[in-house]
């Protein structure tokens, strides 16, 4: 099996991913570009929820689906920002309504634009013929996407200094206090439609020591805040192929450290190229924790220097969150975690009502045809409704029907990382009466990232056989 990447053929539109309305009916797709991951929603009329609290709950990596950002695909005509772009760019039919993981608005995202374009093609609502381009509306203007050898390439538009007078006079314009480094470091602030502050480090040891969970302190801070990039130039900077190379870590405003940042890679290459002076190359390869992206500088149609970003785009899975009904529990005790293979857990198991079980089983039957017998496992939440991204095998072959019902019971278990999701596999819980949201995940076909589901299947089959043996022996 292989990942569903941009370089592969675009998958057929999925019946589970697309359409937005109330939070309980929202369908979504999980995707990423070099590890920079997003929850994407097809919301043509812009009527779906997008308030900060909702977005933050979806992007929460422990109590939600988990992502660096939330992207709504909205027709440009449905948003004021989009209608303004249509006055000069009438072919920008779709607007990338992008929000950071904390729910705050962002101008745009370089990796997100590639994933967004791939998502539109997968949903069948846009076309990108060979040699053609796709216009995407963003709060930083219209971005044009084309196909490239490793996925997609995006004309990110011109770059510019945030503090031009200081940058031109000294080559730096700010100081940055970074956790793990003894002294403040000089930096250069670059705008790619969103603000970035680039710090050059002399060695990889300093890059590794840097602590980026908390935002580095930047003085002076750009008016809209800033993303901070830590860069180590290669030695030699330019290889025999004439391509410059950098290694990058980034702290994104409103998110934290991420595996990749497309606009950050462009800003880092622009700053390093400026520092290198005349003769610096126009092509760069930027290594980030999530992979490698390409950055190319070229003359734009208006005479300003533009930046092109290229790299892969991957759609991981489709999801359907479900608002869970109340589940009776024995009290406010904390649930005991159960091992996904051996089971176990609290001796006082809280079973969901038959109505919840029936609802989940109906949901599983509805999705059997497209998902290959993947159904939902329900978990109670301790507080407000939240998103849970959980999968378990529906009734495995040769397993008793009771096993399927057990998997539909209220569950709280050991999180397992699968394809960027917190998967919860268990069969018991102990929690007060509450409501929550269950997300049923449907892995996209032919993806190596979900090969671990085979191991989960074996685990459930083994558990089912053990349960059946115990039942026959009176255990």
Catalytic residue among 59, 109, 389, 410: 109
More confident residue, 453 or 234: 234
Minimum mean pLDDT range among 102-106, 264-268, 349-353? 349-353
The answer on pLDDT for 465 being more than 50 is no
Is position 261 annotated as part of the catalytic site?
yes
pLDDT in the model for residue 411:
34
Where are the domain boundaries for CATH 3.10.310.10 in the chain? 23-155, 160-314
The answer on pLDDT for 272 being more than 90 is yes
The answer on pLDDT for 423 being more than 50 is no
Instruction: Find where tokens 């300003």 sit.
Output: 304
The answer on pLDDT for 381 being more than 70 is no
pLDDT in the model for residue 130:
85
The answer on pLDDT for 228 being more than 70 is yes
Answer CATH for 23-155 from 3.40.50.11720, 3.10.310.10, 3.40.50.11740, 3.40.50.620: 3.10.310.10
pLDDT in the model for residue 89:
95
Percent of the chain whose predicted confidence (pLDDT) is above 90: 59
More confident residue, 81 or 390: 81
pLDDT in the model for residue 149:
83
pLDDT digit string, tens, across residues 308-335: 999 999 999 999 866 544 444 444 444 3
Answer CATH for 160-314 from 3.50.50.60, 3.10.310.10, 3.90.1300.10, 3.40.50.2300: 3.10.310.10
Task: Report, as an integer, the average pLDDT of 277-302.
Answer: 95
pLDDT in the model for residue 204:
96
Task: Report, as an integer, the average pLDDT of 43-64.
Answer: 94
Minimum mean pLDDT range among 82-96, 140-154, 380-394? 380-394
Catalytic residue among 261, 352, 410, 429: 261
The answer on pLDDT for 135 being more than 60 is yes
Mean per-residue pLDDT of the chain: 74
Is position 327 annotated as part of the catalytic site?
no
The answer on pLDDT for 199 being more than 50 is yes
pLDDT in the model for residue 277:
92
The answer on pLDDT for 470 being more than 70 is no
List the structure tokens of 374.
């993947």
Minimum mean pLDDT range among 269-273, 397-401, 455-459? 455-459
The answer on pLDDT for 13 being more than 50 is no
More confident residue, 417 or 60: 60
More confident residue, 347 or 68: 68
Phi first, then psi: what are they for 429, rounded to 5°? -160, 165
pLDDT in the model for residue 443:
58
pLDDT in the model for residue 298:
96
The answer on pLDDT for 444 being more than 70 is no
More confident residue, 17 or 45: 45
Task: Report, as an integer, the average pLDDT of 46-61.
Answer: 94
Cβ(327)–Cβ(433) under 8 Å?
Answer: yes
Task: Report, as an integer, the average pLDDT of 237-263.
Answer: 96
Task: Report, as an integer, the average pLDDT of 229-244.
Answer: 96
pLDDT in the model for residue 201:
97
The answer on pLDDT for 84 being more than 50 is yes
More confident residue, 56 or 409: 56
Task: Report, as an integer, the average pLDDT of 384-407.
Answer: 37
Q: How confident is the model at residue 418 (pLDDT cuts 50, 70, 90)?
A: very low
Count CB-CB contacts under 10 A for residue 205: 10
Task: Report, as an integer, the average pLDDT of 23-49.
Answer: 90
Task: Report, as an integer, the average pLDDT of 386-413.
Answer: 37
pLDDT in the model for residue 128:
94
pLDDT in the model for residue 472:
40
**Model pTM score:** 0.67
Cβ(73)–Cβ(43) under 8 Å?
Answer: yes
pLDDT digit string, tens, across residues 329-365: 444 444 343 343 334 443 333 333 344 344 434 444 4
pLDDT in the model for residue 16:
39
């Amino acid at each position: 099996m292989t990942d569903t990447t941009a370089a592969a053929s675009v998958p057929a539109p999925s019946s589970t991913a697309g359409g937005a309305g109330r939070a309980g009916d929202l369908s979504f797709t999980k995707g990423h570009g070099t590890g920079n991951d997003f929850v994407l929603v097809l919301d043509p009329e812009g009527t779906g929820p997008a308030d900060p609290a909702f977005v933050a709950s979806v992007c929460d990596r422990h109590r939600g689906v988990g992502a660096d950002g939330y992207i709504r695909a909205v027709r440009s005509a449905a948003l004021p920002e989009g209608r303004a772009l249509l006055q000069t760019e009438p072919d920008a039919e779709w607007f990338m309504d992008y929000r950071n993981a904390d729910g705050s608005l962002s101008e745009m995202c370089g990796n997100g634009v590639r994933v967004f374009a791939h998502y539109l093609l997968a949903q069948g609502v846009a076309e990108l013929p060979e040699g053609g381009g796709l216009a995407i509306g963003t709060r930083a203007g219209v971005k044009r996407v084309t196909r490239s050898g490793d996925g997609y390439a995006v004309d990110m538009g011109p770059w510019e200094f945030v503090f031009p007078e200081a940058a031109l006079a000294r080559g730096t314009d700010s100081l940055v206090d970074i956790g793990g480094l003894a002294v403040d470091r000089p930096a250069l602030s670059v705008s790619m439609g969103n603000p970035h502050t680039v710090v050059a480090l002399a060695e990889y040891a300093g890059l590794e020591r840097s602590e980026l969970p908390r935002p580095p302190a930047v003085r002076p801070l750009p008016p809209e805040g800033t993303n901070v990039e830590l860069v180590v130039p290669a030695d030699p900077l330019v290889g025999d192929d004439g391509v410059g190379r950098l290694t990058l870590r980034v702290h994104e405003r409103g998110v934290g450290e991420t595996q990749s940042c497309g606009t950050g890679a462009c800003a880092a290459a622009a700053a390093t190229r400026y520092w290198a002076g005349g003769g610096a190359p126009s092509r760069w390869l930027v290594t980030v924790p999530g992979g490698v992206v390409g950055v190319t500088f070229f003359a734009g149609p208006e005479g300003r220097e533009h930046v092109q970003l290229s790299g892969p785009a991957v759609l991981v899975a489709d999801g359907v969150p479900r608002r869970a009904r109340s589940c009776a529990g024995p009290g406010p005790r904390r649930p005991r975690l159960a091992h996904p293979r051996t089971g176990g857990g609290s001796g006082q198991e809280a079973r969901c009502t038959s109505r919840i079980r029936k609802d989940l089983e109906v949901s599983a039957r509805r999705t059997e045809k497209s998902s290959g017998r993947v159904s939902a496992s329900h978990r109670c939440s301790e507080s407000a409704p939240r998103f849970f991204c959980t999968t378990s095998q529906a009734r495995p072959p040769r397993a008793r029907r009771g096993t399927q019902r057990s998997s539909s019971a209220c569950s709280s278990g050991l999180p397992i990382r699968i394809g960027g999701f917190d998967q919860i596999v268990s069969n018991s819980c102990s929690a007060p009466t509450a409501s929550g949201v269950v997300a049923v995940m449907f892995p996209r076909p032919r993806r190596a990232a979900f090969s671990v589901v085979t191991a989960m299947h074996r685990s459930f089959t083994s558990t089912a056989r053990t349960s059946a043996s115990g039942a026959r022996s009176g255990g």
